[in-house]
Chain A
Amino acid sequence: MADGMREWMAKLEAGGELARAQREVDARLAPALIAQARGAALFEKVAGFEIGMVGGLASTRRRIALGMDCRESDIGKKFQHGIDHPIEPVLVKTSPASEVTLTGDDVDLTRLPIPVLHEKDGGPYISSGVVVARDAELGRNAGVYRLMYRTPRTTSIDLVSHSDLRSFYLKSLGRKEPLPIAIAVGTHLNELMAAGYGAPVGVDEFSVAGGLHGRPVELVKCRTVDLEVPANAEIVLEGEILPTGWTEDEGRFGDFTNLQCSLKWNPIVRYTAMSFRRDALFYALTMPWENDWLGAPGVEAMAWAALKTAGVQATAVRVTPGGCCHFEIIASIKKRAGEGKNALVALLSLGIVKWAIVTDDDVDITNQDELDWAVTFCVQADKDIYILPGMRGKHLDPSVRAWELPKGEVPVTAKFGIDATRPEGIDRIHYERPVVSRFDEARADEYF
């Protein structure tokens, strides 16, 4: 069986990245404790609930790398390998998540310790759900969508942005029929990353997850909907998105942009079944950092691929927390004449990327001081800062003023890139770096 959330947690614990709470916690304080903990936070006892809670599993690049079994610098390459080497999921008959099963009117979401993540959120949110749906023509789709608790049997679901699930829902809405869905809460990060990266239509996200695991994801059939979910999930919810359209209040919500997004109108999900392990853990995926870092491998994979397509030899690529792991990207390259600009254009062609920096390969782009040095001494602002206006933007970016647009219109944005590679035509001697004399021949710890 491919690893589940517990195996991911075990790797974090072995790497010193998991903190176990020593006492019972009130679910209302869990988000604050997760934010303050020195590692991912595990609450085995939550007051008033039979289910424990975990959060912060994906809050840093290190925790992502530990879960992916790779170096921190290789998360993009490892992700691309999973995309390039998919492994079909297999169907199994049993799941530990079916130890407690509730159907129909017995479904009660309040058995889950669903926390309120932010001060101005519209309510408690299930933020770690891998939502599975099927379309007669396009097949199965898995994505990650936020679900706001409304009643013991209903949540709202955010379908404002374009997605495969939104397309499926529009079809069922046209037929005035509900859209069956199943939700796996508490999966391995590979399932979360595969579901979240936006695979092309027709690509099974669980095959990509299998490629990331290096073995097939085991799926189990649901009880009340004709769908399958990862068998080793902690909690499984089954239900249907009602054909009400975008009519019910949803949000506000602290989003992956590190902004408190506005109130939205969205459809409702009515649940037909829920099941969970007797010792289940509810995964409170905290925003923005967990969502941001779960997206980072996919964005870095796209950057590697774009640079390769552009014929540029990249040596390192990284997203930044300041750019919410999506909007800013930095790359170092082995440059031939003109390729600093080629690389910038390739990176800025990625839909989500708003700004980029390219350096030579001898600059450590994980070191902000090194990066600043390159920008300071390699850049002439009138020659090396490129502004590309009129490119596709994101509604989530307040600076595009999306609210001023006619309904349904996609915003445009000005992107910019900084070519911080050494300029052509300047002799390398002008960029020679001083080296401390006999540095390798003396050891400070023998003296101080």
Chain B
Amino acid sequence: MSISSRAPEVQRLTAEIAGTLRAGPVFFMDLVRAHRQAPYRTLLLAWGEVREHYRLSRDDDGRYFLADGHESGAAKE
């Protein structure tokens, strides 16, 4: 149960989620379904990494997408 945001599997999943978000707007549950093979805690950690390191945007329906598709290189918060 010991895992951190730096773990390779978290970083891999972070990149995969970013890829999904670049493909077009999705609801959070779409991400949960798309990455259902990953342990839930790994998904939560990876989502935290996406929040920290990518320029995440929302459309009017509340779907997430990456506005420019690039890493911000800086924490948003």
- Residues of A that sit less than 8 Å from B by CB: 26-28, 47-50, 108-111, 113-114, 116, 119-124, 149-152, 154, 248-249, 251-252, 262-263, 268, 270
Tally A-B pairs: CB < 8 A: 70
Which size bracket describes the interface of B in this complex? Answer: 20 to 34
Asked whether, in the complex, the Cβ of A119 is within 8 Å of the Cβ of B27, the reply is yes
Nearest chain B CB to A432's CB is how many angstroms away?
Answer: 57
Which B residues touch A50, using CB under 8 A? 1
Query: Smallest CB-CB separation from A261: which chain B residue?
Result: B62
A-contacting residues, B46-65, CB 8 Å: 47-49, 51-52, 56, 58, 60-62
Asked whether, in the complex, the Cβ of A121 is within 8 Å of the Cβ of B51, the reply is no
Which B residues touch A108, using CB under 8 A? 4
Asked whether, in the complex, the Cβ of B40 is within 8 Å of the Cβ of A252, the reply is no
Which of B15-23, B28-36, B66-74 lies at the interface with chain A?
B28-36
Nearest chain B CB to A46's CB is how many angstroms away?
Answer: 9
Which B residues touch A248, using CB under 8 A? 77
* Cα–Cα, bound, A49→B4 (Å): 14
Which A residues touch B29, using CB under 8 A? 116, 119-121
Query: Smallest CB-CB separation from B76: which chain A residue?
Result: A248
Query: Smallest CB-CB separation from B4: which chain A residue?
Result: A108
Nearest chain A CB to B1's CB is how many angstroms away?
Answer: 6
- Residues of B that sit less than 8 Å from A by CB: 1, 4-5, 27-29, 32, 36, 39-41, 44-45, 47-49, 51-52, 56, 58, 60-62, 77
| Contact A27 B60, CB 8 Å, known A116-B29, A119-B29, A150-B77 | no
Instruction: Choose among B4, B28, B62 the residue that contacts A116 (Cβ–Cβ < 8 A).
Output: B28
Which A residues touch B32, using CB under 8 A? 28, 116
* Cα–Cα, bound, A47→B39 (Å): 8
Query: Smallest CB-CB separation from A154: which chain B residue?
Result: B77
Which A residues touch B44, using CB under 8 A? 109-110, 114, 124, 149, 152
Asked whether, in the complex, the Cβ of B39 is within 8 Å of the Cβ of A48, the reply is yes
Nearest chain A CB to B67's CB is how many angstroms away?
Answer: 12
Asked whether, in the complex, the Cβ of A120 is within 8 Å of the Cβ of B40, the reply is no
Nearest chain A CB to B71's CB is how many angstroms away?
Answer: 16
18 A-B pairs whose Cβ atoms sit less than 8 Å apart in the complex: A27-B40, A47-B39, A48-B41, A108-B4, A110-B44, A116-B32, A120-B61, A120-B62, A121-B29, A122-B62, A150-B51, A151-B52, A151-B77, A154-B51, A154-B77, A262-B62, A263-B58, A263-B60
Which A residues touch B4, using CB under 8 A? 108
* Cα–Cα, bound, A98→B44 (Å): 24
Which A residues touch B58, using CB under 8 A? 122, 249, 263
Which B residues touch A123, using CB under 8 A? 28, 47
Which A residues touch B1, using CB under 8 A? 48-50, 111
Query: Smallest CB-CB separation from B56: which chain A residue?
Result: A249
